[in-house]
């Protein structure tokens, strides 16, 4: 029997979670670098440049790639000849202790995003525990651990169906991916699980996302199995949808499609699909009884030589002098650099604000939204001399149901978030002559560099969801919905789908 020390597992989990918070996997960075070089859509290319540059800054600065530092998912393969001689904790508790240490690391505090219970009070557990832990017993005398920190934006887009055995799986994927919008921060990967039972298919899809990106090698050598053929077909067909980076329209939506399968019932064809986002974060290590795992840091020279700089053609905008007349001149796709005061607020703050409005009560002191913009963000806490930690945008569609009331009753004229807006929000934006701007999801550290001041304004108890006032200088955003209701997330993919079709023809 190989004795594995409890502390070796806990310490390895903690180190690995810190590691993946600031180092993208190299296969992802290489694939994104190649996609950036190939990309012909200027908006998508700019978004990819931001993600790549952000990635390098995070690797250098050891700060999180994204403000959503993820829910921890762990797959543990435990050898049957392993003993846990000094263990006082369960495997779940050991992993949780590793999560606790990693997320509270004083030099690189990560954002705690887990809430419990999930229905009802939803209180933040403050240390990002518990992790979602899957354990399997396998032959051997080692413990192999696969760890991921999965962002909520991409996890929320997970899909599942049970097809008839004669149905086309490709048709289902191609029909379903556009319904996912851009809240999963493409370009990323699709993990697909085929077969088993409902829960087995979901697990297969999640585990598939832990594999390396190698679609170009597969293309070069040609498929040898039906599943490899399927991967190539899905990769081509999904990219032909023209969704592009951040849903702006472009050549690359997915960098790879990974598939795992399992035998299933003769009556069923379960299919699960889980996307991985621009903040793809996963790592593997093995414990063999000789001590904690040692992870080799990647070399910065391996990052593509992409430096993002504010575009000369971008319009400089003073947020402190905004009027409806000014914003009415902006067109979908215009690139802006924002300077001035920007209030923050996301799900919980919107709920509280709209509850106050509904009851006819005053908004908290300092929350005056007249002619102001609100930024949908939940930043990471600052460390050292930082004003704020990584502070990228969160998915705007979650705020859609509050938008009409916010625009009608507070004087708010603009919102900043990520990905598309739904029909209800677009209608409200049009009705009130407001605008919606998008920042790049997965470029949170780069965005934070534009934030020069941060002041708590209201709802301190909400933690990362509290309302703050940021002082920003040249914060890069794109007009995603203009005051007439024109949406770049509708026009961009439609335009690029046609272009890609023409290229193929």
What residue ranges bind ligand SF4 (CB under 6 A)? 66, 68, 151-154, 184-185, 277-279, 392, 441-442
Q: How far is the CB of 441 from ligand SF4 (least distance, A)?
A: 3
Structure tokens that stand for 163 in this block: 């097809």
CA 401, 273, 442, 49 dihedral sign is: negative
Which residue, 50 or 410, is less far from ligand SF4 as judged by CB?
A: 50
DSSP E strands, 253-321:
254-264, 269-276, 282-287, 315-318
Contact 111, 462 (CB under 8 A): no
Query: Which one, of 78, 88, 241, lies nearest residue 146 by Cα?
Result: 78
Distance CA 74, CA 92 (A): 9
Task: Count how many residues are written for the chain.
Answer: 505
Question: Minimal distance in Å, beta carbon 148 to ligand SF4?
Answer: 11
Q: Token digits for 420?
A: 């598309």
Buried b (16+ CB within 10 A) or exposed e, 471-504: bbeebbbbbbbbbebbbbbbebbebbbebbeeee
**Residue number, 277 or 348, with CB nearest to ligand SF4:** 277
Which one-letter DSSP state was computed for residue 487? B
Q: Which is nearer to ligand SF4, 279 or 458 (CB)?
A: 279
In the bound state with ligand SF4, the residue whose beta carbon lies nearer, of 110 and 327, is 110
DSSP structure class, residue 333: T
User: Distance (Å, rounded) from C-alpha 111 to C-alpha 67?
Assistant: 7
CB of 277 to ligand SF4, least distance (A): 3
Cβ 250 vs Cβ 498: under 8 Å: no
* CA gap 478, 335 in Å, rounded: 4
Q: Which helix (H) or strand (E) segment is 373 a member of?
A: strand 373-375
Please identify, using beta-carbon distances, which residue of 433 and 463 lies nearer to ligand SF4: 463
Smallest gap, in angstroms, from Cβ of residue 48 to ligand SF4?
Answer: 13
- Of 152 and 433, the one with the shorter C-beta distance to ligand SF4 is 152
- Give the nearest distance from C-beta 72 to ligand SF4 in angstroms: 13
Q: CA dist 125 to 5, 38, 463, Å?
A: 27, 43, 11
Region of 250 on the Ramachandran plot (φ > 0 left; ψ -120 to 50 alpha; else beta): left
Task: Kindly tell me which of 13 and 149 has the beta carbon lying closer to ligand SF4.
Answer: 149
Identity of the residue, 200 or 281, whose beta carbon is nearer to ligand SF4 in the bound complex = 281
Least Å from the CB of residue 186 to ligand SF4: 9
Residue 66 or 205 having the CB closest to ligand SF4 = 66
Q: Minimum CB separation from ligand SF4 for residue 269, in Å?
A: 28
Residues whose CB falls within 8 Å of the CB of residue 423, separated by 6 or more in sequence, listed in order: none
In the complex with ligand SF4, the residue whose CB is nearer, 184 or 496, is: 184
Tokens linked to 253: 């939506």
Q: How far is the CB of 156 from ligand SF4 (least distance, A)?
A: 8
CB of 400 to ligand SF4, least distance (A): 17
What is the closest distance, in whole angstroms, from the C-beta atom of residue 392 to ligand SF4 in the complex? Answer: 6
**Least distance (Å) from ligand SF4 to the CB of residue 118?**
18
How far apart are alpha carbons 388 and 449 in whole angstroms? 9
Cβ–Cβ under 8 Å, residues 347 and 398: yes
Our CB check for ligand SF4 shows the closer of 246 and 483 to be 246
**What string of DSSP letters covers 389-453?**
S--PPPBGGGGHHHHHHHHHHH---EEEEBS---HHHHHHHHHHT-EEEE--TT-HHHHHTTEEE
For ligand SF4, which residue has the nearest CB?
Answer: 151
Nearer to ligand SF4, 35 or 66 (CB): 66
Q: How far is the CB of 379 from ligand SF4 (least distance, A)?
A: 12
């Amino acid at each position: 029997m190989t004795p594995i020390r409890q502390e070796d597992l806990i310490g390895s989990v903690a180190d690995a979670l810190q590691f993946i918070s600031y180092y993208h996997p190299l296969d992802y960075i290489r694939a994104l670098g190649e996609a950036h070089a190939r990309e012909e859509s200027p908006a998508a290319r700019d978004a990819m440049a931001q993600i790549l540059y952000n990635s390098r800054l995070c690797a250098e600065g050891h700060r999180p790639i994204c403000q959503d530092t993820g829910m921890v998912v762990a797959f543990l393969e435990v050898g049957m000849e392993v003993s846990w001689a000094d263990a006082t904790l369960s495997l779940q508790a050991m992993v949780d202790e590793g999560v606790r240490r990693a997320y509270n690391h004083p030099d690189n505090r990560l954002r705690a995003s887990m809430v419990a219970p999930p229905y009802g009070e939803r209180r933040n557990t403050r240390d990002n525990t518990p992790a979602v832990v899957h354990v399997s017993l396998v032959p051997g005398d080692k413990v192999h651990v696969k760890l991921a920190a999965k962002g909520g934006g991409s996890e929320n887009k997970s899909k599942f169906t049970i097809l008839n055995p004669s149905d086309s799986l490709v048709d289902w994927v191609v029909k379903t991916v556009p319904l996912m919008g851009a809240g999963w921060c493409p370009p990323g990967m699709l993990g697909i699980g085929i077969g088993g039972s409902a829960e087995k298919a979901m697990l297969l899809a999640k585990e598939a996302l832990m594999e390396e990106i190698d679609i170009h090698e597969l293309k070069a050598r040609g498929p040898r199995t039906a599943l490899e053929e399927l991967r190539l077909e899905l990769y081509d067909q999904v990219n032909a949808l023209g969704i592009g980076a951040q849903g702006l329209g472009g050549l690359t939506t997915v960098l790879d499609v990974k598939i795992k399968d399992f035998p299933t019932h003769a009556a069923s064809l379960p299919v699960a699909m889980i996307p991985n986002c621009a903040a793809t974060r996963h790592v593997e290590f093995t414990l063999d009884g000789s001590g904690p795992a040692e992870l080799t840091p990647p070399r910065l020279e391996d990052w593509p030589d992409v430096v993002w700089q504010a575009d000369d053609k971008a319009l400089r905008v003073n947020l402190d002098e905004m009027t409806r007349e000014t914003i009415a001149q902006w067109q979908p796709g215009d690139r802006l650099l924002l300077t001035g005061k920007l209030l923050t607020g996301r799900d919980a703050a919107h709920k509280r604000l709209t509850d106050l409005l509904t009851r006819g009560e005053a908004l908290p002191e300092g929350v005056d939204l007249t002619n102001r913009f609100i930024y949908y963000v939940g930043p990471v806490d600052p460390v050292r001399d930082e004003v704020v930690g990584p502070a990228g945008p969160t998915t705007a569609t979650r705020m859609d149901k509050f938008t009409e009331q916010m625009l009608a009753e507070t004087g708010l004229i603009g919102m900043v978030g990520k990905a598309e807006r739904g029909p209800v929000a677009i209608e409200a934006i049009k009705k009130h002559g407001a605008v919606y701007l998008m920042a790049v999801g997965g470029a949170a550290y780069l965005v934070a560099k534009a934030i020069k001041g941060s002041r708590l304004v209201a709802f301190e108890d909400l933690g990362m969801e509290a309302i703050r006032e940021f002082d920003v200088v040249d914060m890069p955003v794109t007009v995603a919905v203009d005051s007439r209701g024109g949406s770049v997330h509708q026009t961009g993919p439609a335009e690029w789908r046609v272009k890609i079709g023409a290229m193929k023809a």
